[in-house]
Amino acid sequence: MFYRESGDFKTSYSGDQQIFPIAFDRWVVIAFCAFAFVVVPFLINDYWEKSVLVPVLVWSLAALGLNILTGYCGQVSLGTGGFMAVGAYASYKLTTSFPEMNMFIVILLSGGVTALVGIVFGLPSLRIKGFYLAVATLASQFFLVWLFNKVPWFYNYSASGQISAPERFVFGIAISGPNSPPWATYLFCLTFVVVFALIAKNLTRGRLGRSWMAIRDMDIAAEIIGVPPLKTKLSAFAVSSFYIGISGALFFMVYLGAAEPTEAFGIEKSFLVLFMIIIGGLGSIFGSFIGAAFMILMPVLFKNIMVGGLGWPTDLVAHLIFMLIGGLIMFFLIVEPHGLAQLWRVTKEKLRLWPFPH
Amino acid sequence: MNSQIAPGETLLEVKNISLSFGGVKALQDISFDILKGEVRAIIGPNGAGKSSMLNVINGFYHPQQGEVWFDGKLRTQMKPHEVAKLGIARTFQNIALFKGMSTLDNLMTGRMIKMKTNLFWQALWKGPAEKEEQEHRERVEHIIEFLKIQSIRKTPVGRLPYGMQKRVELGRALAAESKLLLLDEPMAGMNLEEKEDMCRFVLDVNDEFGTTIALIEHDMGVVMDISDRVVVLDYGEKLADGTPDEVRKNQAVIDAYLGVSHES
């Protein structure tokens, strides 16, 4: 009864075109953001930061990026891990070469570098479609990881071949390195996620988003209408890689602190992000978030219940979690092949008329 | 529509078009013209090359020989999205809507070529992008009203029944406000009532918006009723060209449609 669309009339196009046309949705999201920005920083501790909040934020950004490319523009990519590595190495090179550079600019520039790399690897998409494109992007995954292992310039000739994030400050507060306070790293990531989620929504509801979806749904008709295929696909690759690059940079600078390409940005990361958007919902901003939350938080939740609650051995639990997560993925895909976001949409449609179904 | 061409003059002319795929000759030496403001029908049996002709006009196929003149200018080889910018819109024989998008978004996509804001403003939304979005929304709402599809504005088109999808597809082509509208079998698979509606829309578009229309259609009743001139193709060759009455009386056309006995 409290959640309804009926009676919520729109008298202007801007009213109809806003992000959350239902007033209730709008207030919940605003309240949620306010809570995340104002209240959470006071409650956060090291465990919540490292295991829950920062990983969810970082992977949400990666999922958003891949969702723009795969969910909105229909170009399947398995190169996410590689592009995250580009973002990470770009931020590393930038911040070690220019230690004075503001961290916001470092992260944004890392995204920019990744966007350029994404455009290059997006070029085959004009000729290759579907699974074949997925395989072509797989090449980018392996090539990029190989490159960062092979060329010492990327890891500043360090003996271990690893990169490690130096301590950097924003407004005098450390956001990377071992001494960064949890609330600072959390807020730093949250700012990026909220701003770029908003931008993603703006892009996808406007002209560019429609041209992406047109290419996804029917590329021939899109072309006839005046959507240039190459330019549109490359723009999707660029924007998507930008997001993934930022996510990779944050993942390395803020979350990992030290990284080695094969382990941190391997092929399983590409699959992880792909699973996130499939579970969450292709072509949905909200879906990217719930997909990322699902894939990151479910293992944490199970671990807490089984190890912390039931006292089972850790190695047994680790294997059980694999099976449970696999089972849950199948369950949700059978219940709703279009992802959790669609499940929510259906619920909303039901709620619209509840409790009077006619 | 700021064309220099006055009604009644030639809007599009194809000259000696020949198109073949390997050994198959899809079109052989076809020439005809489309006058501004008319309803021009292209008819012919299956496999006659009608859709190939539209694909040539659209820029999907590049003919081996021949010229396409549009709006008084000789058109060089162009990609389909560049042709769209010149002012040629089209619907498809098999519905080619964007199934995951709402009716409204489909129509808004039809206005693609008219929209200009860059990535930066779109990311910001507030400002030029929102203004542009609203301007185009207003134009699209006119088309929605014209086609009487208000009730399905927000419905994903994949869920709509066939006849409605055809109507939305017409709407998407109309949204481009093109000079020339190509309709590939707009009434295929429709029942009588839906056909009548569609005829009404086609004629109204022609009347109210002054759009020149070229259509392919198999329903002879419809073709003879609504078109000003008809061109008949068969096996990639032009059989006849003229008003519906002339075409109806043409012996070659009658033979092509009814078959001709080889004994006599």
CB atoms A226 and B58 under 8 Å: no
Mean pLDDT of chain B: 88
Mean pLDDT of B113-137: 87
User: Degrees (nearest 5) of the Cα angle A140, A143, A144?
Assistant: 80
CB atoms B137 and A17 under 8 Å: yes
Beta-bridged to residue B17, according to DSSP, are B30
pLDDT in tens, chain A (358 residues): 456 666 667 778 877 777 787 777 888 899 999 999 999 998 988 888 888 999 999 999 999 999 999 999 999 999 999 999 999 999 999 999 999 899 999 999 999 999 999 999 999 888 888 889 999 999 999 999 999 999 999 999 988 888 999 989 888 888 888 888 999 999 999 999 999 999 999 999 989 999 999 999 998 899 998 899 999 999 999 999 999 999 999 999 999 999 988 889 999 999 999 999 999 999 899 999 999 999 999 989 988 888 888 888 888 888 988 898 888 888 888 888 888 888 888 888 777 777 776 6
A contact residues 193-222, partner B, Cβ 8 Å cutoff: 199, 202-203, 205-208, 210-211, 213-214, 216-218, 220-222
Burial profile A140-155: b = 16 or more Cβ within 10 angstroms, e = fewer: bbeebbeebeeeeebb
A contact residues 66-85, partner B, Cβ 8 Å cutoff: none
Using CA atoms, how far apart are residues A295 and A303, in angstroms rounded to an integer? 13
Mean pLDDT of B107-112: 91
Nearest to A193 by CA among A61, A66, A95: A61
At A2 the three-state DSSP class reads coil
CB A166 within 8 A of CB A99: yes
In chain B, residues with a C-beta closer than 8 Å to the C-beta of A218 are: 96-99
Choose the closest CB to B112 out of A17, A220, A226.
Answer: A226
CB atoms B129 and A216 under 8 Å: no
Contacts of B258 (CB under 8 A, 6+ apart): none
- Tell me, what's the pLDDT at A123? 92
- Residue showing tokens 């590689």: A82
CB atoms B109 and A208 under 8 Å: no
In this predicted structure, the answer to whether residue B259 has a pLDDT above a threshold of 80 is no
Domains of chain B with bracketed CATH: 1-87+178-264 (3.40.50.300), 101-175 (no CATH)
CB atoms A226 and B113 under 8 Å: yes
Burial profile A245-260: b = 16 or more Cβ within 10 angstroms, e = fewer: bbbbbbbbbbbbbebb
- The helix (run of H) or strand (run of E) holding residue A234 is helix A229-250
pLDDT tens digits, A44-95: 888 888 889 999 999 999 999 999 999 999 999 999 999 999 999 999 999 9
- Tell me, what's the pLDDT at B254? 84
Using CA atoms, how far apart are residues A213 and A218, in angstroms rounded to an integer? 8
Using CA atoms, how far apart are residues B37 and B209, in angstroms rounded to an integer? 9
A contact residues 291-330, partner B, Cβ 8 Å cutoff: none
End-to-end CA distance of chain A: 15
pTM, to two decimals: 0.91
Give chain B's count of helices (H) and strands (E).
10, 10
Q: Which tokens hold the place of B12?
A: 């599009």
Give the distance from residue B93's alpha carbon to the nearest chain A alpha carbon, in angstroms. 11
Give the distance from residue A343's alpha carbon to the nearest chain B alpha carbon, in angstroms. 16
CB A277 within 8 A of CB A291: yes
Using CA atoms, how far apart are residues B217 and B240, in angstroms rounded to an integer? 16
CB atoms A13 and B138 under 8 Å: yes
CB atoms B85 and A226 under 8 Å: yes
Chain B: residue whose CA lies nearest to A282? B100
- Widest Cα–Cα separation across chain A: 71
**B231: phi then psi, degrees, rounded to nearest 5:** -115, 135
User: How is chain A split among helix, strand and coil, in percent rounded to 5?
Assistant: 75, 0, 25
Q: Which tokens hold the place of A203?
A: 């892009």
CB pairs under 8 A between A and B: 106
Rounded (10°) angle between helices A130-150 and A267-280: 140
Give the distance from residue A152's alpha carbon to the nearest chain B alpha carbon, in angstroms. 36
Mean pLDDT of B18-35: 90
- Tell me, what's the pLDDT at A2? 54
Using CA atoms, how far apart are residues A108 and A236, in angstroms rounded to an integer? 17
CB atoms A225 and B109 under 8 Å: yes
pLDDT tens digits, A147-163: 999 999 999 998 888 89
Nearest to B205 by CA among B189, B191, B192, B186: B186
- Tell me, what's the pLDDT at A177? 83
- Residue showing tokens 């990311």: B123
Give the distance from residue A306's alpha carbon to the nearest chain B alpha carbon, in angstroms. 41
Which range has the worst mean pLDDT, A137-141, A272-276, B207-211, B256-260? B256-260
Q: How far is CA B101 from CA A256, A347, B172, in A?
A: 39, 20, 12
- Tell me, what's the pLDDT at A357? 64
Give the distance from residue B46's alpha carbon to the nearest chain A alpha carbon, in angstroms. 22
Residue A246 near chain B (CB below 8 Å): no
Give the distance from residue B200's alpha carbon to the nearest chain A alpha carbon, in angstroms. 24
Nearest to B104 by CA among B136, B130, B126, B127: B136
Residue B122 near chain A (CB below 8 Å): yes
Q: How far is CA A184 from CA A103, A191, A247, A279, B48, in A?
A: 13, 11, 17, 30, 70
CB A205 within 8 A of CB B81: no
For residue B14, give the amino acid letter: V
CB A82 within 8 A of CB A282: no
- Tell me, what's the pLDDT at A4? 61
Q: Which tokens hold the place of A198?
A: 């908003």
CB B19 within 8 A of CB B27: yes
Using CA atoms, how far apart are residues B79 and B161, in angstroms rounded to an integer? 32
CB atoms B109 and A211 under 8 Å: yes
CB atoms B98 and A221 under 8 Å: yes
